[in-house]
Structure 1
Amino acid sequence: MTIKQLLASTFIILLAFSCKTPEARKPISKSSDSFIKQSININKAVVKREESLIKAIIKKDSTRTYFASKNGFWYTYNKKNNTDTLKPGYGDEVEFNFNILSLDNDTIYSRSELGERALVIDKENIFSGLRQGLKLMKVNETVTFLFPSHKVYGYYGDNQRIGKNIPVKSVVTLNKINTDETLTN
């Protein structure tokens, strides 16, 4: 065999083996789902405990009618507006007052401390329970909300007065709604 034939055959062999499709590599270590499963079980237990506390408060308060929202919190009307039909929606600016209490009615943040607030619905950062609760209200209504911790500050708290996994009560008064149309005119 000549050098040309040897190089040609070597080239053909290399070409044939280089066209092989890559094989998938197996992972070196396998991760387990045990941490995720444990976290899910802990969170389910926290939600169940908080819902039990809230349902016990509702059961004791026989003078009021409480409603369960589809968003996972409960509320009752302190002052209801039966004449208006307008409720805030996406992009509407609302002005409101609220406080935050423990489920035992201890003041965490007072109404005067928080002051009157204005925010644009779904465009500004506020805890999810209050954002969803405001959408249920009409002007001049005052509503007491009972929020499980996952609807307020959840696992981390607010890094000030509300600790982790603390359900709260909030009394909210909706003072004004500026609809999206009135904001653009």
Structure 2
Amino acid sequence: MKNSQLYIITLVVLTFLGCKELEPRRPKEHSTTNFYKEVIEQNKKLNALETKRIKQTLDRDTLTTYQSSANGFWYTYINKDTVSSQTPIKGDIVTVKYNVTGLQGNQFYDYQTRDYTVDKEDFVPGLTEGIKLMKKGETITFVIPSYRAYGVTGDGSRIGINQTLRSTLTLIEIKKPNNETK
């Protein structure tokens, strides 16, 4: 008899517990907006540190004066054309000779010649803007922070992540898409 009473009491308790209305689970609150804001703030700090390091390095080079561009890189003329006013525009095909090193001079890519269609092909983002400042025959050395170069991915070959680049580039020729030479 005691077993049947225990059975009935257990059944009654389970019935009361089972009758409780189920409350739906609420999703955990994850604010992606806050996450993105934190990532942006962190990147701003890293970019500021990189900019400070670049400026310190350029300031130590007392023989060369670098100009700051509105596009986030620094440059200095090695050979400047003061006569011509023609610079490449979107769609022009330019022939350039360039190298790519790290800020401290470690060689990534030795001098190579390349044809590049302005603003229509992939190239180092800082250099794509820098080429548009140049005239035929000019040589400019560019210092490009990582966020204007290959950023957090590198180039998948020789250039690592968050790498500041220095590139000396000579603009050999500017051609219009219909092969007219400037």
Query: Do structure 1's residue 30 and structure 2's residue 33 form an aligned pair?
Result: no
Secondary structure of the corresponding residue to residue 122 of structure 1 = coil
1:132 aligns with 2:129: yes
**Equivalent residue number for residue 62 of structure 2:** 62
Deviation at 1:180, TM superposition (A): 4.2
2:169 aligned with 1:172, yes or no?
Answer: yes
Tell me how far 1:157 sits from its aligned partner. 0.7
Q: Which residue of 1 aligns with 2:145?
A: 148
Q: What is the TM-score with the length of structure 1 in the denominator?
A: 0.78
How far off is 1:167 after superposition?
Answer: 0.8
Quick check: 141-150 or 172-181, which moved more?
172-181
Match of residue 40 from structure 1: 40
How far, CA to CA, are the matches of 2:171 and 2:90 in structure 1? 16
How far did residue 69 of structure 1 move?
Answer: 0.6
Match of 2:20 in 1: none
- Runs (5+) with no aligned partner, structure 1: 1-26
Residue 162 (1) aligns with residue 159 (2): yes
**Structure 2 counterpart of 1:120:** 117
Q: Is the 8 A contact 1:91 1:121 kept in 2?
A: yes
Q: TM-score, normalised by structure 2?
A: 0.79
CA distance in 2, matches of 1:84, 1:180: 20
Shift of 1:54: 1.2
Structure 2 regions of 5+ residues with no counterpart?
1-25
Between the aligned partners of 2:104 and 2:164, the Cα distance in structure 1 is 10
The Cα of 1:90 is off from its aligned counterpart by 0.6
CA RMSD of the aligned region, Å? Answer: 1.8
Cα displacement (A) at 1:164: 1.1
Deviates more, 1:127-136 or 1:49-58: 49-58
**How many Å separate the matches in 2 of 1:76 and 1:181?**
32
Residue 23 of structure 1 corresponds to none
Q: Which portions of structure 1, spanning 4 or more consecutive aligned residues, are displaced by more than 2 angstroms? A: 27-31, 179-183
2:19 is aligned to none
Q: Is the 8 A contact 1:46 1:165 kept in 2?
A: no
Cα distance in 1 between the residues matched to 2:62 and 2:177:
39
Residue by residue over 1:130-165, the C-alpha shift from the partner in whole angstroms, topping out at 9 and shown as x without a partner, is 100000011111100000001110111111111111
Secondary structure of the equivalent of 1:116?
strand
Identity of aligned residues (%): 37
Alpha-carbon deviation of 1:29?
4.7
Q: CA deviation at 1:53?
A: 1.5
Distance 2:86 2:102 in 1: 30
Count of paired positions: 155
Counterpart secondary structure, 2:136: coil
